[in-house]
Amino acid sequence: MAITVTERFGSGESTVGKNGKVVLRYILRGSDDDKAVKAAMLNASPASYDGLNRENGEVENVGPYLWYGTVYYVPADKQPQTGDDSFTFETGGGTQHITQSLQTVHKYAPSGKTAPDFHGAIGVTHDSVEGVDITVPVYRWSQTHYLSNDVVSDQYKGKLFALTGKTNNATFKGCAAGEALFMGASGSKRVTENDWAVTFNFAAGPNRTDLTVGDITGISKKGWEYMWVRYQDAEDATAKALVKKPVAVYIEKVYDEGNFADLGIGT
C-alpha cells in the first residue's frame, strides 16, 4: 500500500532571528513500517524551507497505519555536522549519609555537668550512631557527539553498555582516576544526516587524601569509593559516661573501573 503524506494543521510554525527555525508537521498513512514512513516523509518534505536547512525529522505512531511526522529546519550554521559535539554541565548537590562531623563546634550540658565527647559522631543513641543526610558537591556533565554509522556499531553499543556504572581508570576530561563515573549514554539516528546523535552522561566526585575521623588521621579515598566508620563504646572519664568512639575507618570499592578511551570521545 502506498504511503500518503499530508501536511497537518499547524504546520509551518516558525521563529525568527539568528536562531530562527521552522517546523513542518505531517500526517502519514498506509504502513506500519517506521523506516518506510520516515523515508516517505523525507521524500515529501523539502530539503530547505524559507532559507533554512532541514535538520532532522521524527515520526510517531498514533494508530494502525497512521503516523504523525515532524521535520525541523534551522539555519545552516546551527545544524550540527558529523564529528561535531556539544557540552552541558551543572554543579549540583548530591546527598550522602554521614555518621561523623568535620568538627564538633560546641557542646552543652546542664550546669555542673559535662557533655560527653563523642569525637565527632553524629546522632549518638544508647546503641547506635544515627548520622545525618547532607548535601555534597557533585559535578555532572553531558556531551553530545555526532558519530557516523560506522562508529555506532553493535560492538560499540556493547562497549557503552559495559562501561555504564564504571569509574575512570585513568585521567579523563580533567578528572583524576577514580573521580569520574559514567552514567550511561542515549543515542538517536539522524535520518537527514545519516549519522547518530549520542549523549554521554557523567558525574564526578573529588578524590580525598586529607580526611580525619575522630583520632584517626591520614585517610585517603577515591571519589566514588564508600567510607564507613566502626564505633566502639568508650569511657569519657570527664563526663562520667559511655560514648561511641570511632575506632576504625573502612574504604570500600563499590564501582568497577573501566577504560573510558573506549567511549571514543577523547580523554
Q: Could you list the mean pLDDT of each consecutive 10-residue stretch along the chain, which spans 267 residues?
A: 90 79 94 92 90 87 94 78 83 82 88 88 88 87 94 96 97 96 92 85 93 93 94 89 91 96 94
- CB neighbour list of residue 261: distance below 8 Å, 6 or more residues apart: 170, 267
Amino acid at 17: G
- Do 74 and 84 share a domain, yes or no? no
- Do 114 and 182 share a domain, yes or no? yes
Q: Output the nine-digit C-alpha cell for 5.
A: 503524506
- Do 50 and 165 share a domain, yes or no? no
- Do 107 and 59 share a domain, yes or no? no
257-258/167-168 β-pairing = parallel
d(CA 131, CA 262): 40
- Do 171 and 104 share a domain, yes or no? yes
- The pLDDT value recorded for residue 192 is 66
Q: Output the nine-digit C-alpha cell for 218.
A: 591520614
Q: What is the DSSP letter of 109?
A: -
Strand, helix or coil at 263?
helix
- Do 124 and 223 share a domain, yes or no? yes
- Do 155 and 190 share a domain, yes or no? yes
Asked which of 78, 94, 114 is the last residue of a domain, the reply is 78
Under 8 Å between Cβ of 27 and 69: yes
- Do 113 and 228 share a domain, yes or no? yes
- The pLDDT value recorded for residue 212 is 92
Task: List the end-to-end C-alpha distance of the chain, in Å, as a whole number.
Answer: 50
Q: Residues for the chain: how many in total?
A: 267
Backbone angles phi, psi at 176, to 5 degrees: -70, 160
- The pLDDT value recorded for residue 20 is 79
- Do 242 and 156 share a domain, yes or no? yes
Query: CA–CA distance from 93 to each of 41, 200, 203 (Å)?
Result: 44, 20, 11
d(CA 73, CA 71): 7
In the chain, what is the greatest distance between 2 CA atoms, to the nearest angstrom?
94
d(CA 227, CA 177): 18
- The pLDDT value recorded for residue 22 is 92
Residue with cell 563499590: 254
Asked which of 47, 78, 109 is the last residue of a domain, the reply is 78
- Do 263 and 207 share a domain, yes or no? yes
- Do 73 and 94 share a domain, yes or no? no
Under 8 Å between Cβ of 189 and 195: yes
Could you list the residue range(s) of the whole structural domain that residue 99 is in? 80-267
Q: Where are the alpha helices (DSSP H) in 147-260?
A: 154-163
Model pTM? 0.66
Q: How many domains does the chain have?
A: 2
Asked which of 78, 107, 124 is the last residue of a domain, the reply is 78
Strand, helix or coil at 153?
coil
- Do 30 and 146 share a domain, yes or no? no
